[in-house]
Amino acid sequence: MPTVFTRKHLLGIRELDAGEITHLLDTAENFRDISRREIKKVPALRGRTVINLFFEPSTRTRTSFEIAAKRLSADAINISVSTSSVSKGETLLDTARNLEAMAPDCIVVRHSMAGAPQQLARMGNAPIVNAGDGSHEHPTQALLDALTIREYKGRIDGLKVAIIGDVLHSRVARSNIHLLTKLGSSVSVAGPGTLVPTEFVELVEQGLTVEKRIEDAIEGADVIMILRIQRERQDAAFFPSLREYAVHFGLHPNHLERAAPDAIVMHPGPMNRGIEIASEIADGSRSLILDQVTNGVAVRMAVLYLLAGGGRTEVEENKIGLAENGTKRRQGNR
Amino acid sequence: MPTVFTRKHLLGIRELDAGEITHLLDTAENFRDISRREIKKVPALRGRTVINLFFEPSTRTRTSFEIAAKRLSADAINISVSTSSVSKGETLLDTARNLEAMAPDCIVVRHSMAGAPQQLARMGNAPIVNAGDGSHEHPTQALLDALTIREYKGRIDGLKVAIIGDVLHSRVARSNIHLLTKLGSSVSVAGPGTLVPTEFVELVEQGLTVEKRIEDAIEGADVIMILRIQRERQDAAFFPSLREYAVHFGLHPNHLERAAPDAIVMHPGPMNRGIEIASEIADGSRSLILDQVTNGVAVRMAVLYLLAGGGRTEVEENKIGLAENGTKRRQGNR
Amino acid sequence: MPTVFTRKHLLGIRELDAGEITHLLDTAENFRDISRREIKKVPALRGRTVINLFFEPSTRTRTSFEIAAKRLSADAINISVSTSSVSKGETLLDTARNLEAMAPDCIVVRHSMAGAPQQLARMGNAPIVNAGDGSHEHPTQALLDALTIREYKGRIDGLKVAIIGDVLHSRVARSNIHLLTKLGSSVSVAGPGTLVPTEFVELVEQGLTVEKRIEDAIEGADVIMILRIQRERQDAAFFPSLREYAVHFGLHPNHLERAAPDAIVMHPGPMNRGIEIASEIADGSRSLILDQVTNGVAVRMAVLYLLAGGGRTEVEENKIGLAENGTKRRQGNR
């Protein structure tokens, strides 16, 4: 395996190269099997401490990271901080430095401010995983989406992917656009005119197309990614009403006829059924929405494993420490 | 042991038969001893994931389930969701399906809506434990009450049990009435006239008596169960004031003279002292209120053990996996 | 080691003697090394249950206790209760008694009411650790401060320690004053005139000096402890404004010239930068603020270890059960 992941942090997809992304996906694929076993646990991170530091409320992502940490035998510590109780900038750093002084092996951070995890990584010592920062990046979401695509399509290179919705405010879209173009997909985005970020103009030569109409973006698509309407992240009215959004940019069954015959549909959740996606599609045979969630645990296991030190000690003894007899040997060696 | 518990879920007492209830109680009795040891832990559910999904605030029940899971060596994940942030019906299902996609071995659910756990059980894959749904059922509470009665009375069959209070709104009462009549107790309930549910008319032939006065219900009772005033669950005023409730339906020391000489007093907690129960009784020698709490951990260990798969793998090797040398053998075998 | 710690609870520093304090610090010193290892875990409290019962919001202290418990292999249960939802006195006791009925090996309590942990200790069975009660005591904070001083100064006896700030409302100050005078430091306190408690008059003969000006307290000090402005704990205005507080009682770089040349600076956190302490000092070479946090985990490991029963069973086999080969031996013996 020529490429390895030697970074200390996972802050975004933008700075990763295709080899690093592929290594993360390969590692996650190995971990996916653990959650299907009866004993869903490997000793890879025994005695390590993973802190989930969430400045925004989250059920799904926090739970996914917590389950991932525990299935690696790490001690998981959850900290929920309402942003209101923390002054900005420096005090975020003080909070993080204080936690670092307790010797965690990894800090998973979600924050409403774009760049918060980068700031912590720059100033501190512990490995930082970005679990979503403002409208900036959500790298583990893009990785789990890619793992899901690869599982069902066998590849990412050469696919046509449509991303539909509030792209401007979506850290999910941003991370996915970076990942998919790096791995050779061509990506079409469509959303209300005002919602497509100008910064992606640079990506047009790498295969990004910006469409005005959902129908044009979906035309021939192998993968349709629907974004969640992030009502809480909009400070201005970008479209007249949810009803109108549903009519113009909601995914309806007749849209699927324009996509490739075996097109798959994804959504990062939680869904606003009947707004950005019709229930028939969400519950239909093309929907991989729950597969995404399952792959989320595997991706987070891989990320924690690589960053929190599991890889450093296990790799010689037992490749990635997943074999159940590996468990026995470690017990014996201690 | 001819009867075993083969159900996938524990949704209510109503659908269980006497053999199943007895099997749950017998299993819990075996687990009760673990919490008295110095090392309060058995490996029965190692590598299993138990999710506590609470849509209503709860300290005691959530803690009891969490301690039960951890003493079985399961990974316990707590999720508290304020009902307000979740739209009803479908979205509850989406939340649950998403969690199921993370491969938990059991989901413990508390919800303000009667029938919510049933809905999850019908639509999903994971074993569901009802930790209280609206005014419907709270099966582990009835089981811990029964375990406590059996511990002090040696039997449930043939006892006279009085249940006093807000029966109409009480999932505790409902589950207890089903359990106690199935196991052969005769049950008298008394509460403000409007608070006795008409649906229990069918149970009258199985030994249920509805009394108007607390004195009549308590007459000759072996067991007195006091219900908590669920102020938060009443949308209309069923009695004029708490003061008046205390006078007419609060348990006072002189009431005990009407009960059997060795009558025991129970309360599911948390208590409103001086309202539904006098402090002298709560702290007196007949009170088993703290024994109920202790038995709650044992009952929840039994339920999690039977539903989350401990039983399937342990049973051959080591009956129910409780012996401490059983622990050693499992280590050696892995 | 002639002195041992035989108390059941840790409620305050006031009632401890110098030998007990030194034993706690020595034990903590042994535990400090564990958090520097790759596998940050010893089996000392495996199968024990530690409940963190916090009636006041806390990120840092709760996290420190939780990490300490988990690094000792205990099961840690977090319970956050907003004081508003609990009536005072009796119901606090009912809450605690209920938790005790679940057989925890230790309950860590933080409460806004001075004396709450003492009340629980008097009425209940489980070992109680005071994690801060009103303006009364915060013993583990004083212990971690002492451990930090000892680490950098080699001793506590004979040092001159200045404590600056809102002494009247500070449980941190109170616990530190008791500890430092018991161990032979001379302590000078300075703060707004109204904020120095009269109750410490009795300590003046044991080396406590009350100064009006920060400059006088700091004169020749080996250790400068800055207290946090506890805005939430002040029900009256004790000083005109934060701006004025910063001018008169904030620690500024020029103050350090009056202290001993190798003086160290401490703060219990979280800091109000620019108010009670200048950022240049907080981030400067004399600041031990993050060392305090690191030592906090070690102190809490020691306290939990001694109170939750680790000491009783481990001490014969393996002194304090810290050696990694001790781990192996326990596995073999079970």
Q: Taking 70 as the threshold, does the pLDDT of residue A229 lie above it?
A: yes
| Residue C275 in tokens | 């108010």
Chain B, nearest residue to A299 by Cα: B102
pLDDT in tens, C38-57: 999 999 999 999 999 999 88
Confidence at residue A324, expressed as pLDDT on a 0 to 100 scale: 41
Residues in chain C with CB shorter than 8 Å from the CB of B324 are: 334
Q: Is A309 on the interface with C (CB under 8 A)?
A: yes
Cβ distance of A271 and B94 shorter than 8 Å: yes
pLDDT in tens, C220-278: 999 999 999 876 555 555 667 788 889 989 999 999 999 999 999 999 999 999 999 99
Alpha-carbon distance of B187 to B150, in angstroms, equals 16
Confidence at residue B334, expressed as pLDDT on a 0 to 100 scale: 29
Helices A139-153 and A18-32: crossing angle, nearest 10°?
70
| Residue B54 in tokens | 């609470």
Q: Which chains touch B (3 or more CB pairs under 8 A)?
A: A, C
Confidence at residue A321, expressed as pLDDT on a 0 to 100 scale: 42
Helical H runs in B73-170?
90-100, 116-123, 139-153
Q: Which helix (H) or strand (E) holds A294?
A: helix A289-307
Between C195 and B224, the higher pLDDT residue: B224
* C-beta of residue B165 within 8 angstroms of C-beta of residue B194: no
Q: What sign results for the dihedral spanned by CA atoms C144, C148, C151, C155?
A: negative
**What's the mean pLDDT when you consider all of chain B?**
87
B241-254 average pLDDT score: 90
Q: Taking 60 as the threshold, does the pLDDT of residue C318 lie above it?
A: no
Buried b (16+ CB within 10 A) or exposed e, B230-264: beebeeeebbeeeeebbeebbbeeebbebbbeebb
Between C208 and C260, the higher pLDDT residue: C260
Confidence at residue C162, expressed as pLDDT on a 0 to 100 scale: 98
Q: Is C204 on the interface with A (CB under 8 A)?
A: no
Parallel, antiparallel or unpaired: strands C128-133 and A128-133: unpaired
Substitution target in B102, B314, B328 with the highest count of A β-carbons within 10 Å is B102
In chain A, the N- to C-terminal Cα span, in Å, equals 29
A140-166 average pLDDT score: 97
**What's the Cα-to-Cα distance from A262 to each of A153, A224, A257, A259, rounded to whole Å?**
9, 11, 10, 8
Q: Taking 70 as the threshold, does the pLDDT of residue C324 lie above it?
A: no
Alpha-carbon distance of B229 to A246, in angstroms, equals 45
Q: Taking 90 as the threshold, does the pLDDT of residue B49 lie above it?
A: yes
* CB neighbour list of residue A17: distance below 8 Å, 6 or more residues apart: A182
- Full 3-state SS string of B284-296: CCCECHHHHHHHH
Q: Taking 80 as the threshold, does the pLDDT of residue A331 lie above it?
A: no
- pTM to 2 decimals? 0.91
CA of residue C246 relative to chain centroid, distance: 25
CB-count burial class (<10 Å; 0-12, 13-18, 19+) for B312: exposed
Cβ distance of B47 and A67 shorter than 8 Å: no
Give the position of tokens 């005990």: B256
Helical H runs in chain C?
18-32, 60-71, 90-100, 116-123, 139-153, 171-182, 214-218, 242-249, 279-282, 289-307, 310-318, 324-333
Asked which of A265-274, C11-20, C62-71, C86-95 is least confident by mean pLDDT, the reply is C86-95
Q: How many residues does chain B have?
A: 334
**What's the mean pLDDT when you consider all of chain C?**
87
Give B38 to chain C, closest Cα distance, Å.
Answer: 7
Q: Is A290 on the interface with C (CB under 8 A)?
A: no
Nearest to C137 by CA among C31, C245, C14: C14
Give A53 to chain B, closest Cα distance, Å.
Answer: 15
- pLDDT classification of B207: cutoffs 50, 70, 90: confident
B197 preceded by cis ω (within 30°)? no
* CB neighbour list of residue A38: distance below 8 Å, 6 or more residues apart: B47, B48, B309, B313
Q: Three-class SS of residue A37?
A: coil
* C-beta of residue B226 within 8 angstroms of C-beta of residue B205: no
**What's the Cα-to-Cα distance from B105 to each of B50, B69, B78, B115, rounded to whole Å?**
6, 11, 14, 21
Asked which of A83-87, B42-46, B269-273, B281-285 is least confident by mean pLDDT, the reply is A83-87
Q: Is C63 on the interface with A (CB under 8 A)?
A: yes
| Residue B278 in tokens | 């006098």
* C-beta of residue B281 within 8 angstroms of C-beta of residue B233: no
Shortest CB distance from C47 goes to which of B41, B290, B331?
B41
**What's the mean pLDDT when you consider all of chain A?**
87
Q: Taking 50 as the threshold, does the pLDDT of residue A205 lie above it?
A: yes
Confidence at residue A238, expressed as pLDDT on a 0 to 100 scale: 60
In chain C, the N- to C-terminal Cα span, in Å, equals 29
A38-65 average pLDDT score: 94
- pLDDT classification of B59: cutoffs 50, 70, 90: confident
Confidence at residue B309, expressed as pLDDT on a 0 to 100 scale: 83
A44-55 average pLDDT score: 96
- pLDDT classification of C169: cutoffs 50, 70, 90: confident
* CB neighbour list of residue C243: distance below 8 Å, 6 or more residues apart: none
Q: Taking 70 as the threshold, does the pLDDT of residue A204 lie above it?
A: yes
Confidence at residue A309, expressed as pLDDT on a 0 to 100 scale: 83
B98-110 average pLDDT score: 97
Q: Taking 50 as the threshold, does the pLDDT of residue A33 lie above it?
A: yes
B39-58 average pLDDT score: 94
Give B74 to chain C, closest Cα distance, Å.
Answer: 11
Confidence at residue C4, expressed as pLDDT on a 0 to 100 scale: 76
Q: Taking 60 as the threshold, does the pLDDT of residue C30 lie above it?
A: yes
Q: How many residues does chain A have?
A: 334
Alpha-carbon distance of C196 to C238, in angstroms, equals 11
| Residue B51 in tokens | 């999710």
Residues in chain C with CB shorter than 8 Å from the CB of A94 are: 269-271, 273
Alpha-carbon distance of C169 to C171, in angstroms, equals 7
* CB neighbour list of residue B184: distance below 8 Å, 6 or more residues apart: B18, B156, B157, B158, B159, B207
pLDDT in tens, C146-159: 999 999 999 999 99
Confidence at residue A194, expressed as pLDDT on a 0 to 100 scale: 60
CA atoms within 13 A on the CB side of C62: 23
* CB neighbour list of residue C157: distance below 8 Å, 6 or more residues apart: C183, C184, C185
Cβ distance of C48 and B60 shorter than 8 Å: no
C65-92 average pLDDT score: 80
Cβ distance of C313 and B36 shorter than 8 Å: no
Asked which of A157-171, B205-219, C312-326 is least confident by mean pLDDT, the reply is C312-326
| Residue C25 in tokens | 């610090």
Q: Is B331 on the interface with C (CB under 8 A)?
A: yes
Alpha-carbon distance of A157 to A181, in angstroms, equals 9
Substitution target in A46, A50, A66, A75 with the highest count of C β-carbons within 10 Å is A75
C-alpha torsion A241→A247→A248→A252, nearest 10: 140
For chains A and B, CB pairs below 8 A equal 72
Alpha-carbon distance of A4 to A19, in angstroms, equals 8
Q: Taking 80 as the threshold, does the pLDDT of residue C125 lie above it?
A: yes
